[in-house]
Structure 1
């Protein structure tokens, strides 16, 4: 995928007939893009937590998995205060990166470790 924007995301959601619904009104495009690149290159991620069809934890992973055509496991989760469902067309996909450089390095270390890769291998895969 060349351009990652709201139009591409909504087209993917529609084409894949996404069953899970958002409980977040805003999501970060740079975060989705990082996860998408990793998933598209075979990096594995934790399951998404859901209650009924609502995503409780894992919105960015869910969207990234749809874009990368990767199946992620879902785990049942108890309801939380995040129970307002938003249609994906109502979600703001913002250009703001919610992770700092230190956060990104931390997540890269964890992703490399959980996928039994050296950090350098993970970084090479995601360039």
Structure 2
């Protein structure tokens, strides 16, 4: 499994043709790393929400799916008047974890239930 870094992501994004555009200018690197690990181990996720060519909800999942080379589903939604587009090379990758330990455990439990797995399996995946 590759080590996900901000530099690796930026290089990766420069090398591929990305179909969807970001509506966030910052993403959390630790969140991307956790989702990437889960995807590489076969954990399935909910669809991301898009409007036309824009990611509205699911930026971390979308980027993780590209890195893991895993298809993720999409569902259509609406954008608001406040929605802004950002080129992927404008997106900053924050080294800080945006999730608390409590939220990480909650998400692991949710992912385990969605995939019909014991939560300890999901906990082990992200700790590797």
Q: TM-score range by the shorter chain?
A: over 0.9
Contact 1:22 1:59 in 2 (8 A): yes
Displacement of 1:81: 4.1
Give me the whole-angstrom Cα distance separating, in 1, the residues matched to 2:45 and 2:81: 25
Give me the whole-angstrom Cα distance separating, in 1, the residues matched to 2:22 and 2:81: 13
Give me the whole-angstrom Cα distance separating, in 1, the residues matched to 2:65 and 2:16: 11
Give me the whole-angstrom Cα distance separating, in 2, the residues matched to 1:115 and 1:78: 28
Gapped regions of structure 2 (runs ≥ 5): none
Give me the whole-angstrom Cα distance separating, in 1, the residues matched to 2:105 and 2:47: 21
Gapped regions of structure 1 (runs ≥ 5): none
What TM-score results when the alignment is normalised by the length of structure 1? 0.93
> CA 1:63–1:100 in 2, change beyond 3 Å: closer, same or farther?
same
Contact 1:35 1:60 in 2 (8 A): yes
Displacement of 1:8: 1.3
Secondary structure at the counterpart of residue 4 of structure 2: coil
Partner of 2:98: 98
Contact 2:13 2:89 in 1 (8 A): no
Aligned ranges for residues 1-127 of structure 1 at < 5 Å? 1-126=1-126, 127=128
Displacement of 1:3: 2.9
* Alignment RMSD: 1.4
Runs of 4+ in 1 over 6 A off after TM superposition: none
Number of aligned residue pairs: give it. 127
What TM-score results when the alignment is normalised by the length of structure 2? 0.92
Displacement of 1:82: 4.7
